[in-house]
Amino acid sequence: MSKLGINLKEVKCPNCGAVQPKVRTPKNFSQFLWGGNTCANCGTEMDKFGKEIKK
Ligand SMILES: [Zn+2]
């Protein structure tokens, strides 16, 4: 094993490539439900797979 087994797959911002923190605070109800994230670097919203969410 090369890494700790508890590591989840990294999610990177689709816009700027910043690695998103695994511990997140949902910013809205949709993120709370679906596990999305908002990039702290550029503000892009994405789902839990790192896919940009178009508004
Ligand atoms: Zn970003």
Tell me if 35 is assigned to some domain. Answer: yes
Tell me if 48 is assigned to some domain. Answer: yes
Question: By the 8 A CB rule, do 53 and 25 touch?
Answer: no
Distance 22 CA to ligand 1 centre (A): 15
**Gyration radius of the chain over CA positions:** 12
Rounded CA separation 31/48 (Å)? 9
Tell me if 54 is assigned to some domain. Answer: yes
24 lies in which domain range?
Answer: 10-55
Distance 34 CA to ligand 1 centre (A): 19
Count of structural domains, the chain: 1
Distance 19 CA to ligand 1 centre (A): 8
Tell me if 24 is assigned to some domain. Answer: yes
pLDDT, tens digit, 9 for 90 and up, residues 1-24 = 455 555 567 889 999 999 987 765
Rounded CA separation 46/38 (Å)? 6
Tell me if 26 is assigned to some domain. Answer: yes
Tell me if 52 is assigned to some domain. Answer: yes
| % the chain with pLDDT above 70 | 67
- pTM, two decimals, is 0.62
